[in-house]
Structure 1
Amino acid sequence: MDAGSRRAGRPVRRVERDPAADWDEHAWWARIPAVRVVLDAGLDLPAGVTFLVGENGSGKSTLIEALAQAYGLNAEGGSRGAMHRTRGTESPLGDVLRLVRGAGGRGDAYFLRAETTHGLYTYLEGLPDSPDRDLHERSHGEGFLALLERRFARPGFYLLDEPEAALSFTSTLGLMARLSVLAEAGAQIVVATHSPVLTALPGATVLELGEHGIRATAWSDLAVVDHFRAFLGEPDRYLRHLLG
């Protein structure tokens, strides 16, 4: 991707704390090391695809939900205009952050969150003249990929939370190809994931979240990649400990 495309592909240049926001520094979400880094120092978002990787509880979903809210997207998934709501579980972090925008218009934007896709499908199904009334008729993975194809279509700002939860290995490779095409076209995409397959996307930025906070990491140095390699190479060594 040339420099001009990368500049055009940054609807959000930086995420930082809004100095006017009222927040509790002792709240559970504010004590997550990765979240605290963003609150204290801010975080630059590059063009193209950025993966947020880390163990459960490292702050991946908390950050990506907050990004969606700060951008004006529905926290349970969808576009700016999506109005569905079931049971709110997201933190108030989105109200504390502000986004430093890139030049140009706002463009397309969408948030896909694996754990709330059923509610999103139901909401879309009920809209007048909706092209998405068939999503419940598909398998979970097929519906997810169909929505990606329809909604992640042009340059814009796109967020995905653990998309691999709905996808087979082959479908995950298809998602990688889709993300690559979007990035080349000038889209900016942030993905929270546990997948060592998805994070192998060439040219992507990988940010590892943990007790250390946030650090840029090479794919080959990710802890999740080491764990999968070790398990696939010698599963019995793990299973002996787990199963006695």
Structure 2
Amino acid sequence: MSAALATHPVRRAESNGEPFDRNAWWARIPAIRTVLTDGLDLPAGVTFLVGENGCGKSTLIEGLAVAYGLNAEGGSRSARHSTRVTESPLGDMLRLVRSPGRRAHAYFLRAETMHGLYSYLESLSGSPDHDLHERSHGEGFLALLERKFAGAGFYLMDEPESALSFTSTLSLVGRLHELARRGAQVIVATHSPLLVTMPGAHLIALDQQGLRYVDSWRDLDIVSHWRAYLDDPDRYLRHLLTSDSD
């Protein structure tokens, strides 16, 4: 899609030209280095960031959230809550190329800071979200998703599957598909082989070479690894577990 025709909120992320320590831990991650060097085009609809621990998924999605003006620990532009600052300065190094005239509703959900976000929302005067701590982790997550992710906005999620059962993850697939149908742009960092099967989703693999678009979920390492493990768990477990007779 050309820049002239693009209607989704964020078309591209790239370096804003500010100097930074290239030897810092986050700047040495290949995928982050690629974004700062070459930029990253972001399509409309739903995009999944996929890769091993340490590949930069959470660092990137956190950086995109901060660059858009969202709270680093989750929430909207107006959210003001923080536990301990651990995020990289990537968000301050990025420039987001936005579609003309688009100031979309936006929200960021990250699994590891949901308790703090729930507590913050509960503390707000007249909050409709006072019930989140009374729900299970997964139920609260899905309730917040339903309330905050609405319409053609810009939404980010970091490992949402960590809160969800198999059935609830399927529900999330349906919700993401509906958001895309309504014109939303959603970027999700995930380890879930189930989420990435969503029809029409874009897939970006992060690895030691940087990052790259992948045509099919069938070509992702997480899918082949889970398929092989479930087909024959012992092939993996015999190298990890020690029997009593050893």
Which residue does 2:178 correspond to in 1?
181
Structure 1 Cα separation of the partners of residues 174 and 100 of structure 2: 27
> Deviation at 1:237?
1.3
| Greater Cα offset, 22-31 or 72-81 | 22-31
**Counterparts in 2 of 1:20-31, with a 5 A limit?**
21-31=18-28
Structure 1 ranges of 4+ moved more than 4 A = none
**Counterparts in 2 of 1:103-142, with a 5 A limit?**
103-142=100-139
> Deviation at 1:240?
1.1
The match for 2:30 among 26, 33, 38 is 33
Which residue does 1:48 correspond to in 2?
45
Structure 2 Cα separation of the partners of residues 185 and 114 of structure 1: 25
Structure 2 Cα separation of the partners of residues 187 and 14 of structure 1: 16
Structure 2 Cα separation of the partners of residues 7 and 68 of structure 1: 20
The match for 1:221 among 219, 222, 235 is 219
Which residue does 1:74 correspond to in 2?
71
Question: After superposition, what is the alpha-carbon deviation per residue over 1:71-113, rounded to whole angstroms, capped at 9, x for unaligned?
Answer: 0000000000000011011100000001000122312100000
The match for 1:230 among 228, 231, 234 is 228
Structure 1 Cα separation of the partners of residues 33 and 129 of structure 2: 38
Structure 1 Cα separation of the partners of residues 145 and 181 of structure 2: 16
> Deviation at 1:142?
0.2
Q: When the two structures are superposed, what TM-score results if normalisation uses the length of structure 1?
A: 0.96
Which residue does 1:87 correspond to in 2?
84
Structure 1 Cα separation of the partners of residues 221 and 43 of structure 2: 22
Structure 2 Cα separation of the partners of residues 48 and 210 of structure 1: 23
Q: % of aligned pairs identical? A: 68
Structure 2 Cα separation of the partners of residues 11 and 104 of structure 1: 9
Structure 2 Cα separation of the partners of residues 116 and 197 of structure 1: 23
Question: After superposition, what is the alpha-carbon deviation per residue over 1:39-97, rounded to whole angstroms, capped at 9, x for unaligned?
Answer: 00000000000000000000000000000000000000000000001101110000000
Q: Could you say what the CA RMSD is over the residues aligned between the two structures, in angstroms?
A: 1.3
SS at match of 2:143: helix
Number of positions where the alignment pairs a residue of Structure 1 with one of Structure 2: 239
* Unmatched runs of 5 consecutive residues or more in structure 1: none
Q: When the two structures are superposed, what TM-score results if normalisation uses the length of structure 2?
A: 0.95
Letter in 2 for 1:239: L
